[in-house]
Amino acid sequence: MKIGVFDSGMGGLSVARAIERDLPEYEVLFRNDAKHVPYGSKTPEVLLGYVEPILQSLADAGCEVVVVACNTVSTTLIDQLRGRISVPLIAMEPMVKPAAKMTKSGVIAVCATPTTLKSARYAWLKQEYAKDIKVVEPDCRNWSRMIEAKKFDAALVQDEINDAIVLGADVIVLGCTHYHWIQEEIKAIAGSRAQVIQPEPAIIKQLKTVISKLS
């Protein structure tokens, strides 16, 4: 079986590698959109034109399931894409629900792109799972570009993470796969003050469930 993984840039490569580690018996095809990265400030209408042909190419290449390893696309377009692509699509979205369960301070921080933070799906996640807690949203608009350029701006990230923790956040959600590449740096900044979570383990669990149904 072939498994497709898509992301706007290099972020989703961490997801592809995690799948390869956990499911070595399957072939993983990774595709990104280096021409148009980053996606975080683009409109859903523009993104649909970019994403649909790439997902279709993965289906045409024999992928029986595709992981959409992009929170921006998943939170804005996944329903439309599922209506257009013939194979199952696994979406990736900010882990608001588990963060809300984990917090002891009643404050969580969601690090995500501007388009994700403006999406109806993200608003629903907050209303459904975090209506009784405070959600801090650090300004991460330049993080994806920084990570694509492989230039880590420690001061930029440190300021945003520290500000969120000062506001009481004890759980930090990485709501963009690009940020997985600086997860260890973010954990170092947070130290014992906050937990840092990202969805790769949950995505692999969901992927295994989908595969079992396809077999």
- Report the distance separating Cα 197 and Cα 128, nearest Å: 19
φ, ψ for residue 156, nearest 5 deg = -60, -50
**Selected catalytic residue, list 63, 111, 140, 176:** 176
- What totals of helices (H) and strands (E) does the chain contain, helices first? 10, 8
Residue for token digits 């497709």?
4
φ/ψ of 5, rounded to 5, equals -130, 130
Closest CA to 182 of 136, 131, 134, 142: 142
Phi and psi at residue 176, to the nearest 5°: -155, 130
Q: Does the annotation count 140 as an active-site position?
A: no
Q: Which candidate, 105, 69, 53, places its Cα nearest to that of 177?
A: 69
Measured torsion, CA atoms of residues 194, 185, 74, 5, in degrees rounded to the nearest 10: -130
Starting at the edge strand found earlier in the chain, the sheet holding 134-136 runs 134-136, 107-111, 171-174, 195-197
Active site residue 111: no
The catalytic residue among 63, 70, 111, 140 is: 70
Query: What residues act catalytically?
Result: 70, 176
